[in-house]
Structures are given as C-alpha cells and as structure tokens.
C-alpha cells in the first residue's frame, strides 16, 4: 500500500494562500468563525484534501488528448459559433485540449471512486 504524506509546511502554504485572499488576518479569522471552524480544524481539512489530491494524482494519470480529439471539438465549436469574432486557433486548441483533459480526468476520478465504493462497500448517505 502506498503512503501519502502531507507535511506541515504544505498545509501552512495552503493556509497562507487562503489568507492572501483577505485584507487582514482578522478578516480571515472572522470567516473561520462564521463557519464555526477553528484553525486546527482548517489545518486538518486542508491536510485531508491534500492527501486525497495526492491519491487521485497517483491513481489518475496517463491522460492523453489526441490531435484528432482536438480537431473534432474545434470543428464542432466553429460550426456552432455564431460570433463573427476571429479566434486565435492556437489559443482555441489550448482551451479545447484543457477541456478534453478535464473531462477525461473527471471521468477517471468518477470511475476510481466507484471502484473504491464497490471494493469497500461504501455508501453515501447524503
């Protein structure tokens, strides 16, 4: 079985990233209080999210987007586009590739979670 480790430094870095969205620590702490979260709970939540993310990154990989897939979606986009604005093909291809990649990643994630649920008899009660 693989070991996934999240260091306190990684957690702190993510908390700092969150804090950077607020004008002060006081504002940040007000939001925590609003959601009845302590700093300790926040750290644990972030740690869990990073662990899950590491697991998924490890299990869901080798996602390939072919030129053919990009071309097919690009033609479809252009045929449905009603805009007269010219779109940079390179930029469009980049966005399409990312879209296809995200879609495939989401599909693989869903399949992985379904397998986990079956294997470990996990039921979602919500």
- Shared domain check, 83 and 32: no
Predicted local confidence at residue 125, as pLDDT: 65
Q: Are residues 42 and 20 in the same domain?
A: yes
Average pLDDT over residues 7-34: 95
Residues 70 and 37 in one domain: no
Residue 88 CA: distances (Å) to CA of 73, 79, 80, 123: 15, 15, 16, 47
Asked if residue 35 and residue 11 are part of one domain, the reply reads: yes
Take residue 109 and report the two structure tokens written for it.
């994630």
Per-residue model confidence as pLDDT tens digits over 25-84: 999 999 999 999 999 999 999 999 998 888 888 888 789 999 999 999 988 887 887 766
Residue 39: the pLDDT is 93
Domain residue limits at 47: 1-59
Q: Does one domain contain both 39 and 95?
A: no
Total number of domains constituting the chain: 2
**Domain end point (choices 27, 59, 91):** 59
Q: Which two tokens stand for residue 56?
A: 């998924």
pLDDT of 10 strictly over 80: yes
Shared domain for 107 and 88, answered yes or no, is yes
**Coil, strand, or helix at residue 60?**
coil
pLDDT at 97 over 90: yes
Residues 68 and 113 in one domain: yes
């Amino acid at each position: 079985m693989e070991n996934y480790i999240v260091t306190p430094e990684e957690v702190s870095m993510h908390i700092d990233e969150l804090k950077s969205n607020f004008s002060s620590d006081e504002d940040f702490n007000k939001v925590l209080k609003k959601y009845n979260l302590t700093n300790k709970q926040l750290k644990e939540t972030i740690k869990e999210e990073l662990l899950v993310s590491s697991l998924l990154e490890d299990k869901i990989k080798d996602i390939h987007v072919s030129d053919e897939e990009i071309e097919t979606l690009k033609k479809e986009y252009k045929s449905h586009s009603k805009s007269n604005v010219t779109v940079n093909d390179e930029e469009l291809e980049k966005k399409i590739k990312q879209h296809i990649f995200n879609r495939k990643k989401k599909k693989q994630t869903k399949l992985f979670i379904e397998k986990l649920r079956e294997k470990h008899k996990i039921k979602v009660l919500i």
